[in-house]
Amino acid sequence: MALADNVTKQVSVFLENKSGRLAEVCEVLGEADVNIRALCIADTSDFGILRLIVNDPARATRVLQERGFGVGEADVLALIVPDRPGGLASVLALLRDAGVNVEYMYAFFITVDGDAVVLFRIDDAAIADTVQMLEENNIRILTADEVYAL
């Protein structure tokens, strides 16, 4: 499978700590008919970064930029993780043993065939090798299209 297919595009939005910014992002996306599939927010006292998995990242980026938001795209891996105690630990152990640093991660609510879906952000330079290593260890990676369609 081509590497590009395995990599999901995440939309990151810079938000100042002003009230209403988050609501406005969701309004803009709603008006553009973009559906949010997963999200998380990292925050400091001055600003936050909103990370979104949407069904159409290119359109989301464009409409948000037009509305004056600071937007970036990041490559994340959507991994299928067994939905049982120890499921996540086993995947993380694989990454640790391969020397891969996890910047951050967050989960979908939706399950796929009874398993959990967890998004991982790792160092861009490590993506290709990590994908290969995970496939060798029978960890299923959702393709970008599969993710957007969840």
What is the binding site for other proteins (CB under 8 A)?
Answer: 12, 14-16, 21, 42-44, 46-47, 49, 51, 68-72, 74, 103-104, 121
Residue with tokens 């400091």: 44
- CB-neighbour burial class of residue 19 (10 A; exposed 0-12, middle 13-18, buried 19+): exposed
Rounded to a whole number of angstroms, the minimum distance from the CB of residue 44 to other proteins is 6
Do strands 47-54 and 116-122 pair parallel, antiparallel, or not at all (unpaired)? unpaired
Task: Dump the DSSP string for 70-93.
Answer: EEEEEEEEEEEE-SSTTHHHHHHH
Rounded to a whole number of angstroms, the minimum distance from the CB of residue 56 to other proteins is 19
| Smaller CB separation from other proteins, 37 or 51 | 51
Rounded to a whole number of angstroms, the minimum distance from the CB of residue 12 to other proteins is 5
| Smaller CB separation from other proteins, 30 or 70 | 70
